[in-house]
Amino acid sequence: MAGVVTADLVGRVLAGRYRLLAAIGSGASGRVYVADDIRLRRRVAVKVLHAALADDAGFLRRFRSEAQLAASLHHPNVMAVYDWGEDGVPFMVLELLAGGSVRGMLDRGTRLTPAQAAHVGGQVAGALEYAHSRGLVHRDIKPANLLFDEHGIVRVADFGLARALAEASWTEPAGTVLGTARYAAPEQATGAALDGRADIYALGLVLVEMVTGTVPLVGDSPMGTLGLRQESAVEVPSELGPLTPVVERACSADPAARYPTADGMKQEIADAAETLPPPGPLALAGLGEVTDDPHPTQVVNTALAPPLFDQDEPVRPAGPRPGRPMSSVRLPQRSRSTAPFVLGAVVIVAMAAVAFVLARPASGPSAPVPLLIGKTEAQIQSIAFDNKFLVTPEFRRSDDPKGFVIEQDPAPGAFLAEGESIRVVVSRGPKPVAIPDLRGKTEADARAALEPQFVVVVEPHPDETVPKDQIIQTVPAGTAQPDTEIVLWVSTGPKPRVVPNVVGKTYDEAVNILKAGQLGAARFEEFSETVLAGKVIRTEPGTGAEAARDSAVKVVVSKGRDLVTVPNFVGKTIAQITVLAEQAGVEIETRGVVKGKARAQAPTAGGEPVPRGTVVTIYFS
């Protein structure tokens, strides 16, 4: 959303309790401030919503209900809601998270590794499962609503707010669409009631953006975006590695094909994470330095204030802010009459500082320099701190392991005074070496090429084009340092196909359906008492089972009922009747004394065909 969403309230005290110190963010719903909770003497975040919403009685009623529900959520990955209310404008009081948001990381150019994305995504999925189990759907999962504390633990923000805003009667500035369309599930275009699967879809898109920096299937307008997602499947980039099948299922256009619960998605993210290296620390964006306003009652000069981060505004190149030209902005100037006094004060302070330096002892007590070679960078900082030395690190390529000290000056045993510095050289590891292009090679050939310099790990992956047991790619590709881990993606061939339901179809219809699913067909026939002749009785493998791509599925076609004609047994002996009945496919039973020749039978010969195994009664005199 372009423009200012609400008046700047810095210095105001809301509800007689929350003193707003500085604005730290702006979005479609309102503006976020760092504030002091005067009563509890703690720093909090206050989200002030649009002033126009205060006139919407229906919104305020929904806002109270949703805020109460959001405040009842207590989960380590859900942002805590401390308080809410209205003081001319609706507001919510939230825990202040110093780590910034995923949006802030992405806007700084930071991209997460698949392992880091899995670490963050698993926490978000856990928060969604917790909220969904209590009947609360977020409806607006996006990077700007995923924030971190100072330890890198993610919190999901704005639970309940999206629904209240979506049902408000006011018109948003600049035509903004609530529930950011860039992350909206395709069913949001239909107006149908949303459930937790819409949040799962949005989380899948966020996982892609965290790794690649881009959101899949974004059109020129909100409705264009939703239309694309109704028509096309999300193509997951290969950079996501083991997370690919997770995102493919989460971002299915059909909600029924997604994970039924966020917990299911969380478990599969965890399974994928087990195949990845440790995630490593996150480069958090942070909030920057926020200080108390020394003059809370004075009007802030917004012409000189830095622009706020607007989570809904497109990124623009840096340049002069609109408004007054830069040349017309006047900075406060001191009176000319005070300049000599200021200059004199500066000179006096400088002379006092020089006198202090000359009078103080040159250094503290001396101590021997410890051995730092072979230590890690973290270890040497700890040793230097314990000995009250400073450490000045330099970095150099070498054959030694990365992160270890390879040189130091002064040498161990020399004496230094407290506060003096030791220069150390820290190894950046060996020079990276080229990883050969192994695509299409066998696992054995790839191992032979890599194992002299790298640690090789094999991961099986399905692939539609690379034949089974051949290399799809290496992770990483290009170059890597010697002795690091190289993952070989070995093809298991195409993904198995699910056998479609062709029961009751003709054989030709079944062949076409199987062909569309990249499966072949082999015809078999048998009699059936229930399926009409020419129709499919069953397939082997059965409906819903998996079969190798392009393999032939056994299609069993009905020959109809198995009917036979009753032969003429009259005038024949029991021995002749027995042979004839077996040949005709009927059973016999006798009446009377079995001797001589049969005098009658039921049913009679030559009538309507009867099912195989029908019992014919033979009468003897």
Q: Where residue 486 sits, what CATH number does that domain have?
A: 3.30.10.20
Q: Of 255, 274, 293, which residue sits at a domain end?
A: 274
Residues 334, 337, 341, 347, CA torsion sign: positive
Q: Of 376, 410, 427, which residue sits at a domain end?
A: 427
- Of residues 109, 142, 336, the one with CA closest to residue 212: 109
Pairing of strands 405-409, 13-14: unpaired
**Domain with 56 in it: what CATH number?**
1.10.510.10
Q: How many domains does the chain have?
A: 5
Give the C-alpha separation, 532 to 559, whole Å.
7
Q: Of 274, 290, 309, which residue sits at a domain end?
A: 274
User: 33 with 48: CB under 8 angstroms?
Assistant: yes
Same domain as 258, residue 122: yes
The residues near 400 (Cβ < 8 Å, ≥ 6 apart) are: 406, 427, 429
Same domain as 31, residue 113: yes
Give the model confidence (pLDDT) of 105-156 as tens digits: 999 999 999 999 999 999 999 999 999 998 888 888 999 999 998 888 999 9
Same domain as 569, residue 554: no
- Does residue 155 belong to any structural domain of this protein? yes
User: Which positions of the chain have pLDDT values less than 50?
Assistant: 1-5, 169-179, 289-350, 352-363
Same domain as 388, residue 445: no
- Of residues 445, 112, 423, the one with CA closest to residue 280: 112
- Does residue 357 belong to any structural domain of this protein? no
Same domain as 588, residue 554: no
Q: Which domain holds residue 585?
A: 563-620
Same domain as 568, residue 553: no
Identify the helix (H) or strand (E) that includes residue 206.
Answer: helix 196-212
- Of residues 69, 202, 74, the one with CA closest to residue 127: 74
Same domain as 514, residue 485: no
The burial of 204, by beta-carbon neighbours within 10 Å (0-12 exposed, 13-18 middle, 19 or more buried), is given as buried
- Does residue 344 belong to any structural domain of this protein? no
| Sole residue written with tokens 């805003």 | 165
- Does residue 190 belong to any structural domain of this protein? yes
Give the C-alpha separation, 153 to 413, whole Å.
44
Same domain as 437, residue 423: no
Q: Looking at residue 169, what is its pLDDT?
A: 44
- Does residue 408 belong to any structural domain of this protein? yes
Q: Looking at residue 125, what is its pLDDT?
A: 96
Pairing of strands 485-491, 455-461: parallel
Same domain as 19, residue 96: yes
271 catalytically annotated: no
User: 566 with 614: CB under 8 angstroms?
Assistant: yes
Same domain as 150, residue 53: yes
Q: Which of 55, 83, 140, 463 is catalytic?
A: 140
Q: Looking at residue 348, what is its pLDDT?
A: 46
- Does residue 438 belong to any structural domain of this protein? yes
Following CA atoms 179, 181, 184, 189 in sequence, which dihedral angle do they give, to the nearest 10 degrees? 100
Same domain as 166, residue 25: yes
Give the C-alpha separation, 608 to 601, whole Å.
15
Same domain as 204, residue 131: yes
- Does residue 290 belong to any structural domain of this protein? no
Give the model confidence (pLDDT) of 530-588 as tens digits: 999 999 999 999 999 999 999 999 999 999 999 999 999 999 999 999 999 999 999 99
- Does residue 219 belong to any structural domain of this protein? yes
